[in-house]
Amino acid sequence: MSVVAAAPERRWRVGVLLAVVVVGVIAVMLTPPLRQDPAYHAFADRRAYFGIPYALNVLSNVGFLVVGAWSFAAVARARVPRWERAAGFLFALGLVLTGFGSAYYHLAPSNATLVWDRLPLAALFPLVFAVAIGDRVSPAAGRALFLPLAVAGVVSVVWWDVTDDLRPYALVQFLPLALIPLMLALFPGHRPTRPLLIGVAIYAGSKIFEVGDGVIMAAGGLVSGHTVKHLLSAVAAGFIVLWLAPPRHLRL
């Protein structure tokens, strides 16, 4: 395909992405403020072990710490542009801080402690989104956006903490989940696609376990859905890191 012929096609694909962003933002603006449901903190598994309340929900966050520590090494070895390396290191740091923040929250679940769980978590998908933009749409756009998008994620949590309105947080978390697969479908890229798709799919599946927290606990009595959600989310993050910082031998 010639460059002249490709340009209009590329423009309409970019237009599709921008249209989804505009629709998402308008939909959030038209939605009434979303308040944090106090029942969110009523986890099914309240068992204490070794003096740790909600022990499995607390201890299952070790997955984030392990994957985060490995991510630092993976990003350091990867041959990627400097800004993508910076985004990868921020992602790794976010995973480690999510492990500590989530463990702190689950020791005494409340809105006040939930802030420390969500603050680092909110930056993770915006960072992935920015690298996807750089890989699929425009390296210059990805480089320019990765820090503002990460900051926007953190600000959305601060907004919720101050106003008790979850709309911006929901936007920065779920809009990238819709846009990343769309970008993968619309634009060619250089990174192997499968690790990112697997990571996003596992993370989406983990949300099902989160919603079914009590049902899963009642079914087996061993672990709750929320504990499984933590473990699956850590696995999802590992696949996403394979995409952010692909090893030289990766051919997925």
pLDDT tens digits along 99-137: 999 999 999 999 999 999 999 999 999 999 999 999 999
DSSP lists the bridge partners of residue 52 as 49
Other CB atoms within 10 Å distance of the CB of residue 18: 10
- Please state, rounded to an integer, the average pLDDT across all residues of the chain: 91
The CATH number for 196's domain is: 1.20.1070
pLDDT tens digits along 53-83: 999 999 999 999 999 999 999 999 998 999 9
On whether residue 155 sits in a domain, the answer given is yes
On whether residue 251 sits in a domain, the answer given is no
pLDDT tens digits along 187-244: 888 888 899 999 999 998 999 999 999 999 999 889 999 999 999 999 999 999 999 9
On whether residue 205 sits in a domain, the answer given is yes
Angle between helices 167-186 and 3-30 (to 10 degrees): 160
Tokens for 244, please give them.
Answer: 């952010």
> Can you list the alpha helix ranges (DSSP code H) found in 78-193?
82-107, 111-136, 139-163, 167-186
On whether residue 174 sits in a domain, the answer given is yes
On whether residue 38 sits in a domain, the answer given is yes
Q: Give the whole-angstrom CA distance, residue 141 versus residue 184.
A: 16
Q: Domain range holding 53? A: 3-244
Q: Give the whole-angstrom CA distance, residue 63 versus residue 96.
A: 9
pLDDT exceeding 70 applies to what percent of the chain?
95
On whether residue 117 sits in a domain, the answer given is yes
How many domains is the chain partitioned into structurally? Answer: 1
Residue 163 confidence (pLDDT): 96
Comparing C-alpha atoms, which of 223, 243, 167 is closest to residue 54? 223
Comparing C-alpha atoms, which of 47, 38, 53, 57 is closest to residue 229? 57
On whether residue 153 sits in a domain, the answer given is yes
Q: Which amino acid makes up residue 28?
A: V
3-state secondary structure of 49: strand
On whether residue 249 sits in a domain, the answer given is no
Residue 5 confidence (pLDDT): 42
CA atoms in the 13 A half-sphere facing the CB of 81? 11
Q: Give the whole-angstrom CA distance, residue 146 versus residue 148.
A: 6
